[in-house]
Amino acid sequence: MTPLEHRLLCIDTHGFHHITYYEWPGPSGAPTVLCVHGLTRNGRDFDTLAAALTRDFRVICPDMVGRGKSGWLCHGEDYGYPVYINDIVVLMARLGIEEMHWVGTSMGGLIGMLMAALPDTPVRRFVINDIGPLIAKEGLERIASYVGQDPSFPSVEAIEAYLRQVAQSFGPLTDAQWHHLATHAARKKPDGALGLAYDPAIGEAFRHGPVEDVDLWARWDRIPCPTLLIRGAKTDLLRASDAQAMTQRGPRARLYEVPDAGHAPALMAEDQIAAIRGFLLG
């Protein structure tokens, strides 16, 4: 099953940019689920999950600006949550919706957290995948060690080999799933080589001073909607103690732990999909 591909014009501080998003229409009048990916990933990460959810929901999976098939910003310093949230609001207007469910992995979970914490939030049910209001500097340091690099690869197979190494914490995936991730993680460079499908400038935020823990507990405590927290048991971004605190504070999230994954579970396994679908159906 292949999603419908759309293009949307948005605006930032220094000009216009476009984002690409993928639509799984679902039944007529079905509620909308917005699936938002991690820092260096793209909307096609959610194909397996979306195909399972489309029986009950309209599923929308954007490539956030600077990733996948979306455009790149003219100024790298503009990559940040104000632009991402503005793009989501423009996307909601295009979709003709005033409320939705949210599934967010890592960066996508943080965008969802900030959205869900705002007054009169449009987020009705919130799935946050392996990120929380206290982001451990150890995980941020690991991400800073590679994000923003622009390696070249001779083939999709070479990208797949690279992903199997740097993204092994996604959990055990099939050969077909690794190939799917690699196929949509590739972009063609001017010299004919393949690169990773994101703007290297998204790494600029990690080069402004020393990496420290990020504390967003005040935002978490303002979230009113039912929340499901998914945590990879081997993660280095979401400490077990913080995950437990998330079940006691704010929306008092329901915790689902994935024993054989780190940061971040790929949401491709049947048990992970079943947990999300059951939660969204309420």
The model's pLDDT over 139-167, given as tens digits with 9 standing for 90+, comes to 778 777 777 789 999 999 999 999 999 99
Strands 58-63, 15-24: parallel, antiparallel or unpaired by DSSP? Answer: antiparallel
Number of domains in the chain: 1
Q: Write down the mean pLDDT value for the chain.
A: 95
Nearest to 72 by CA among 30, 118, 12, 132: 12
Whole-number Å distance between alpha carbons of 59 and 141? 33
Nearest to 59 by CA among 112, 125, 123, 103: 103
Whether 238 maps to a domain, the answer reads yes
Whether 156 maps to a domain, the answer reads no
pLDDT (0 to 100) of residue 137: 80
- Given a contact cutoff of 8 angstroms between Cβ atoms, the answer to whether 241 and 213 are in contact is no
pLDDT (0 to 100) of residue 145: 75
Q: In which band, very low, low, confident or very high, does the pLDDT at 198 lie, cut at 50, 70 and 90?
A: very high
Whether 117 maps to a domain, the answer reads yes
Whether 259 maps to a domain, the answer reads yes
pLDDT (0 to 100) of residue 208: 67
Whether 165 maps to a domain, the answer reads no
Whether 41 maps to a domain, the answer reads yes
Q: In the structure encoding, which two tokens stand for residue 217, read together? A: 């507990």
Q: In which band, very low, low, confident or very high, does the pLDDT at 65 lie, cut at 50, 70 and 90?
A: very high
pTM of model > 0.85: yes
Q: In which band, very low, low, confident or very high, does the pLDDT at 136 lie, cut at 50, 70 and 90?
A: confident
pLDDT digits (tens, 9 = 90+) for 76-93: 999 999 999 999 999 999
Which of these ranges, 81-95, 192-206, 261-275, has the smallest mean pLDDT?
A: 192-206
- Mean pLDDT value across residues 42-61: 98
Whether 17 maps to a domain, the answer reads yes
- Mean pLDDT value across residues 170-175: 98
Q: H/E element holding 115?
A: helix 107-116
- Mean pLDDT value across residues 157-184: 97
CATH number, residue 225: 3.40.50.1820
- Given a contact cutoff of 8 angstroms between Cβ atoms, the answer to whether 102 and 123 are in contact is yes
For the cut 80, the answer to whether the pLDDT of residue 211 exceeds it is no
pLDDT (0 to 100) of residue 67: 98
Whether 162 maps to a domain, the answer reads no
**Which residues form the domain of 106?**
4-147+202-277
- Mean pLDDT value across residues 234-238: 93
Percentage above 90 pLDDT, the chain: 89
Whole-number Å distance between alpha carbons of 109 and 130? 8
For the cut 70, the answer to whether the pLDDT of residue 210 exceeds it is no
pLDDT digits (tens, 9 = 90+) for 84-117: 999 999 999 999 999 999 999 999 999 999 999 9
